[in-house]
Structure 1
Amino acid sequence: MGLIDYVSDLRKIIGTKTLILTGAVVIIVNEEDQILLQNRNDGKWGLPGGLQELRESLEETGQREVREETGLRVKDFKLLQVFSGEKYYFELDHGDQFYSVTAVYVTDVFEGEFQNNEAEGREVRFFNQDNLPDNLTEEYLDYINSWEGIN
């Protein structure tokens, strides 16, 4: 059973009521101190990452999601912080509600052929920290700002 099946099965039971969903994102920094971002299919920018699947650790979630969305394999990543709470409550257009619990990792060690997965997003590219896109979602801005505070 994959994540889609798991969440769909839960939704059949509880409808749009609030769930707690866990996931991971990875701040990938290149040699020029730029951050890799993904222009998602909704037109907003964010960090590569996504929801945790059954039987998967949060570290594995970060690795899998980065590979699926960018073609890259990340190594030597460190946990920056876990974000949760009222600020990370979301209600989707179709009514599904959830609280997000997100582990944010950071790495500058990655390999592989850099490529965008069009099923996951429109584009992936590196940005200077002082020139991030305007339509970066608030939660991702929180993650990046927490890293910049210790960087």
Structure 2
Amino acid sequence: MVLMADYIHEMRALVGHRPMILNTAAGALLDDDNRLLLQERTDTGDWSFPGGYMEFGASFAETCQREYLEDAGLEVEPLKLLKLFDKDFYTYPNGDQTQLITALYLVKQTGGQLLDHVTDETKQVKYFALDQLPPLFNEQSNKMAQAVIDEVQSWQEG
């Protein structure tokens, strides 16, 4: 298995800051009050869905599970693909340009414990009411939050 950080560094050494298409996966975990679990990022201080880059040979679902454990400390099972986001662009503070192809899953917790310490990628994890979300990482994160809100509304209407 190729380590993603090594892969990205190797590719960036070849292409510099030029645009790259990168596949990612994230999970939406709701508690009993339909509050959404989010991760405060160490790189920007913004909030985002636990998730990250796909490793070579992994599926979107496997990526979601691995990243959720790394970012939030929780083992999860993807229940439903909420939406595939495929036309979102982001330029990182260092100038790296990306088109992020992200699979967002509704997930349920199957094990683990919420992170209670700072890691390389996570300052903290916290549940938020859907109508009181903090500043999110990028436009794709905002679209992902709306997909979760739409899903919850469909449950309440149906």
* TM-score of the aligned structures, taking structure 1 as reference length: 0.91
The Cα offsets for residues 7-44 of structure 1, whole Å up to 9 and x where unpaired, read as: 11111222211110000010001112110001111210
Number of matched pairs: 148
Among 74, 77, 101, which residue is 2:76 paired with? 74
Over the aligned positions, Cα root-mean-square deviation in angstroms equals 1.4
Question: Does structure 2 retain, via aligned residues, the 8 Å contact 1:34–1:127?
Answer: yes
Give me the TM-score of the superposition, normalised by structure 2.
0.87
Per the TM alignment, residue 89 of structure 1 is displaced from its structure 2 partner at its CA by 1.1
| 1:143 pairs with 2:118 | no
Shift of residue 54, structure 1, vs aligned partner: 0.9
Q: Secondary structure at the match of 1:144?
A: helix
The residue aligned with 2:4 is 3
Is residue 38 from structure 1 mapped to residue 51 from structure 2 by the alignment? no
Which ranges in structure 2 are unaligned for 5 or more consecutive residues?
153-158
Q: Could you say which residue in structure 2 is the equivalent of 1:123?
A: 124
Moved more, 44-53 or 91-100: 91-100
**Structure 1, gaps ≥5 residues long:** none
| Structure 2: distance between partners of 1:97 and 1:60 | 25
- The match for 1:48 among 38, 47, 50 is 50
Q: Is the 8 A contact 2:90 2:99 kept in 1?
A: yes
- Amino-acid identity (%): 31
My pick for the range that moved more, 105-114 or 51-60, is 105-114
Partner of 2:95: 95
